Amino acid sequence: MKISLDWIQDFTELPGELSPEEIGTQFTLSTCEVEGVERSNEHLEQVTVAQITGIEPHPEADKLNLVRFKTGDGEKQVVCGAPNVAVGQKVPFAPVGTTLPIGFTLEPKKIRGVLSEGMLCAEDELGLGEGHEGLMILDGDAALGQTLADYLKTSTDVLLDIDNKSITHRPDLWGHYGMAREFAAVFRKELKTPFDESWMQKLRKLQTKDPSPVSIQVDEKSACLGYMGLSVDNVTVKPSPQWMQNRLIACGLRPINNIVDISNYVMLELGQPNHIFDRETIRGGTIIVREMGEHHTFTTLDEVERHIIPGDTMVCDAQGPSVIGGIMGGLSSSVKEQTSSIFIEAANWVDARIRHTSTRLGLRTDSSQRFEKSLDTNQLERTIWRILELVLESCPEAKVAGSLESDGMKYTPELTIDLSEERVNSILGTNLDAAAIKKYLESLEFQVEMKSERPGSMKVTVPSFRATKDIEVDADLIEEVGRIHGYDKLIPIAPKNEITAVKLLPEKLLKRKIMDFMVYRGRALEIYSYPMVGEKLLAQADWHELNEKLILANALNPETDRMRPSLVPSLLEKAALNQKHFSSSRFFELGRSYLEDEAAFSRERHQLGIVFYSKTHSPFMELLNLLEDMFENLNLNTRIGMPDKSKPNPLLPENWLGKHPNEYLDIRIMGKTAGFISSIHPLMNRAFKIKGNLVMALVDLTDFMVHPIQDKTKYQPLPKFPGSTFDCTVLADPKTPVADIIAAARKLKMKELVDLRIADVYTPDDQPKAVTLRARFLDRDQTLSPEFISTAESRLIETLEKQGYPLKQ
């Protein structure tokens, strides 16, 4: 949001000794984040009034002309392509060195062989409108050589670019007057109050005793918190004064006409959105604010048809809807050139319902942004009178018809909070007295009443514009004192309270253990992928569950329009990205997936996904061995083995294309199928353009996130005697799962055989595959003799050969 310092100075003085950048820094420290400082209209000091004296065709271009003109210091010539150029016209001329708002600085330039020094400008090139059909034509009485800033009676303004996210809790800061209140408090300046009660009383006298041409009726079920309106006759629609146009343009709004511009101007000034009807379009002379009970198609001011559903609040006349309450007016009720009578509306709405309708329609407007913050109903009347004041300035012949009408008024209730000097200083670590605290709060228009029975205590009445949702308890008041006093003035002191370690929840502890293991033992990197995916990625991954019921309304991107049913598609996508840059990689993700559920709408699942990639070899055994170690480290009773064909794995679609026919195992935890490990099928690799060997494991941890895992680790001393490691390679049918070979080796019953795992697998074309097993023998009571080691190795080979796995010669 743009804030004009020129506008702010209508209400308070700014410190002249500080630069705009220093003002912005101070405001960031105390109130809200200033993202940048801009200077508007500086270029208008360089642009001058020129009069065209001659036009000749360009010798090398049919659509260009050589235009001669004078500016008061001699005749000049530029190349110009504007279709409306004519001798005698007065137009703006930007000389060489001028930096225009469209983003470039003018330099001498040859255009088709002719030197052009400067430019005759259109409105949009000067940032004064959207017109680009030709040159901006100035009035005949414009003085030659006069700067455009003088001609337009505008001055250079400084704009602060406010980060909207930093004021979402401050509805009072969405207008210049509210911002001026903050500037006055922060810089210890006086705040002018032109819109006080006496001012309103003066304007109230303009009402007549005639019946109002428009009556108002607010339905209790609607989202309306109060609706006010005033009728005005004898208005003339014309351009708004230049000073108003300049301020609107500076704040990012396009001037339209005096009536529409006044509506927008007051919204930017007081922070209260409003609407001005062409009164002739209010059928039946009645405004009815109601909750829609039927579906309806409605065309808004931007000429877009919107689908209105039951539950949306609409402002209607006797025959149908005219405005989407709190969001945008209708095309049919807008002010037009021939409008002569108007109806000024100011209303307030339930924030949550405005946000809901706005989000569903995909329609965020300046109005809805403000109403979503919970505005103050008490400010509606002030808004009506401010609009009337400006209408009368623009149209002196205008007259109020009838009196101010209102209905459904739910005023912001008064809120008082007890506060004490002791409480403020204990929280802030300051030594402020009650008088200083009172002064800070009163500068923000809080009313402070000191309690005589308790020195240092006070009763604070919160102004209604801060009482909607912003200020609720004494801690909020202490924050106000702290920021106006200056956070930079607070002396940092270490907390004196006793600090104890936080006991981690079971789910946090489980995740922490997995992360530590994967990083330190698995040498893998953790990734975070986006939990939203698109139908295109699911189709690419051959994932049949499309989560049609978990699609976002008004998704910004079709590639992230639904909650993902599994981590697998996301992991494949990230694997494809990484393989372009690395010959091998390892990564994992502890993420969430979502499944449709009839009872609970969606079921959230916590999953661990692991990916190993190598361009040169299959890392299947590396990942398998790592998984076994990880489950042992987590004390989980796990079995990794061949799938049970009668019980499909619930974590995979049936007949999934990515499942490898030979290198695939199910993971069963505590007797329940909770994961899988698989080399990714070449056809799936081809779908993601992955060149190399990809292995993936997926484990569903949901059932173990909330129940602490019993630590059944049995500790024993480190072995005093060395062990012996033995590798042997046996031959097996290419279709034989490695798990069967491990199972065969484990039939050797020896207490000295303490570890057995697959070290490598090699599968040559049209030959038996070679599987290398690694066995470790250890006796904790003595050193193994060479004779025993030889006997143990022979028994292992004999056991394997009896099961049909001969030793490779």
- Quick one: 472 and 534 in the same domain? no
Main-chain phi, psi angles of 159, to 5 degrees:
-115, 135
Q: What's the whole-number mean pLDDT along residues 20-28?
A: 94
- What does the block give as tokens for 608? 């661990």
The torsion region of residue 312 among left (phi > 0), alpha (psi -120 to 50) and beta comes to beta
Give me the residues paired with residue 639 across strands.
668
Residue 554 sits at φ, ψ, to 5 deg, of 60, 45
CATH number at residue 442: 3.30.56.10
Q: Which residues are annotated as a binding site for Mg(2+)?
A: 470, 476, 479-480
Residue 19 sits in the same domain as residue 86? no
How many domains are contained in the chain? Answer: 6
pLDDT at 110: 86
* Helical ranges in 582-681 per DSSP H: 620-633
Domain termination site, one of 407, 431, 464: 407
pLDDT bin (cut points 50, 70, 90) of residue 109 is confident
Determine what percent of the chain is predicted with pLDDT higher than 90: 73
| Average confidence (pLDDT) over 126-134 | 80
Residues in the annotated binding site: 470, 476, 479-480
Backbone φ and ψ of 520, nearest 5°: -85, -40
Q: Token pair of 649, please?
A: 């794995």
Token digits for 589?
A: 């993700």
The mean of the pLDDT values for the chain is: 92
pLDDT per residue as tens digits for the range 161-197: 999 999 999 999 999 999 999 999 999 999 999 999 9
Q: Tokens representing 250? A: 């500076």
Distance CA 84, CA 49 (A): 17
Q: How confident is the model at residue 501 (pLDDT cuts 50, 70, 90)?
A: confident
Instruction: Let me know if residue 52 belongs to a domain.
Output: yes
208 and 71 inside one domain: no
Q: Does some domain include residue 658? A: yes
Which parts of 567-718 fold into alpha helices (H)?
Answer: 568-578, 620-633, 682-687, 702-705
Is the separation of the CB atoms in 321 and 308 below 8 Å?
A: yes
Q: How far apart are CA 611 and CA 353, in angstroms?
A: 44
- Number of Cβ within 10 Å of residue 167's Cβ equals 20
Residue 776 lies in a domain: yes
Rounded distance, CA 524 to CA 511, Å? 15
pLDDT digits (tens, 9 = 90+) for 723-771: 999 999 999 988 887 878 888 998 999 999 998 888 888 878 788 989 9
Q: Does 807 reside within a domain? A: no
Residue 642 banded pLDDT, cuts 50, 70, 90: confident
Question: Is residue 713 over pLDDT 80?
Answer: no
Of 383 and 715, more confident: 383
Res 644: pLDDT:
81
Tokens of 658: 């990515």
Query: What is the C-alpha to C-alpha distance for residues 777 and 686, in angstroms, rounded to an integer?
Result: 43
Q: What is the mean pLDDT of residues 581-595?
A: 95
Of the candidates 27, 146, 142, the residue with the CA atom closest to the CA atom of residue 89: 142
Is 93 a member of any domain? Answer: yes
Residue 556 to residue 230: CA distance in whole angstroms: 40
Query: What's the confidence (pLDDT) of residue 759?
Result: 85
**pLDDT given for residue 711 in this prediction:** 63
- The pLDDT assigned to 695 comes to 97
CA dihedral 428, 432, 438, 443 (to 10 degrees): -70
Res. 130: pLDDT tops 90: no
Alpha-carbon span 809 to 800, nearest angstrom: 14
Q: Please check whether residues 163 and 61 belong to one and the same domain.
A: no
Per-residue confidence at 707, pLDDT binned at 50, 70, 90? Answer: low
Q: Which residue has the higher pLDDT, 234 or 741?
A: 234
Question: Could you count the other beta carbons within 10 Å of the beta carbon of residue 483?
Answer: 17
CA dist 449 and 456 (Å) reads: 11
733 and 631 both lie in a single domain: no
Token pair in block for residue 519: 């990083």
Task: Name the domain boundary from 124, 151, 178.
Answer: 151
Are 9 and 91 members of one domain?
no
Task: Give Cα separations from 504 to 501, 507, 630, 766 (angstroms).
Answer: 9, 8, 20, 54
In contact, 144 and 70? CB cutoff 8 Å: yes
CATH code for the domain of 385: 3.50.40.10
How would you classify the pairing of strands 286-291 and 215-218?
Answer: parallel
Residues 488/29, Cβ–Cβ less than 8 Å: yes
Residue 217 scores a pLDDT above 90 = yes
Please say if the pLDDT value at position 107 is more than 80. Answer: yes
- 283 and 181 share one domain: no
- Structure confidence at residue 544 (pLDDT): 92
2 band by pLDDT with thresholds 50, 70 and 90: very high
Crossing angle for the helix pair 258-270 and 242-250, to the nearest 10 degrees: 50
Structure token digits, residue 212: 């109002």
Distance CA 91, CA 97 (A): 18
- In the chain, what percentage of residues exceed pLDDT 70? 99
Other C-beta atoms lying within 10 Å of the C-beta of residue 636: 17
Q: Give me the pLDDT at residue 712, please.
A: 63
Between 276-290, 366-380, 589-603, the lowest mean confidence (pLDDT) is in 589-603
Q: Is residue 632 part of a domain?
A: yes
In the predicted model, is pLDDT for residue 706 greater than 80? Answer: no
pTM score: 0.63
Mean pLDDT over 332-356 rounds to 95
The Cα 483–Cα 470 span in angstroms is 15
pLDDT in tens, 564-574: 999 999 999 99
> Is there a single domain that holds both residue 732 and residue 698?
no
Tell me which residue of 756, 758, 763 sits closest to 733, measured CA to CA. 763
What are the contacts of 546-555 at 24+ separation with CB within 8 A?
547/594, 547/595, 547/596, 548/596, 549/596, 549/601, 549/602, 550/594, 550/596, 550/602, 553/359, 553/360, 554/359, 554/360, 554/361, 554/362
Are 187 and 11 spatial neighbours (Cβ–Cβ below 8 Å)?
no
Beta-bridge partner residues of 91: 50
User: Do residues 147 and 44 touch, judged by C-beta distance below 8 A?
Assistant: yes
pLDDT the model gives residue 126: 86
Q: Are the C-beta atoms of 306 and 297 separated by less than 8 Å?
A: yes
> Which residues pair with residue 25 across a beta bridge?
none
Tokens (6 digits) for 601: 């709408």
Question: What does the alpha-carbon distance between residue 255 and residue 252 come to, in Å, rounded to a whole number?
Answer: 10
Question: Residue 463 pLDDT > 90, yes or no?
Answer: yes
Mean pLDDT on 84-103: 89
Complete DSSP assignment for 705-766: HSSPPP------PPPSS--EEEEEEEEE-TTS-HHHHHHHHTTS--TTEEEEEEEEEE--TT
Question: What residue type is assigned to position 487 of the chain?
Answer: Y
Q: What is the CATH number for 67?
A: 2.40.50.140
Q: Is residue 96 in a domain?
A: yes
CB 471 within 8 A of CB 462: yes
Q: Could you tell me the residue range of the domain that residue 624 belongs to? A: 506-705
Within 10 A of 427 (CB to CB), how many other CB atoms are there? 14
Predicted confidence band at 709 (pLDDT cuts at 50, 70, 90)?
A: low
Please give the residue that has the higher pLDDT: either 433 or 156.
Answer: 433
Residues 27 and 86 in one domain: no
- In DSSP terms, which residues pair with 306 in a beta bridge? 298
Q: Is residue 271 part of a domain?
A: yes
Residue 356, pLDDT score:
95
Whether residue 695 sits in one domain with residue 548: yes
Tell whether 91 and 124 lie within a shared domain. yes
Round to whole Å and give the CA distance between 648 and 691: 29
Q: Give me the CATH number covering residue 757.
A: 3.30.70.380
| Amino acid type, 302 | D
Residues 80 and 58 occupy one common structural domain: yes
Q: Which two tokens stand for residue 227?
A: 């609706």
* 3-class secondary-structure state, position 26: helix
The reported pLDDT for the residue numbered 626 is 94
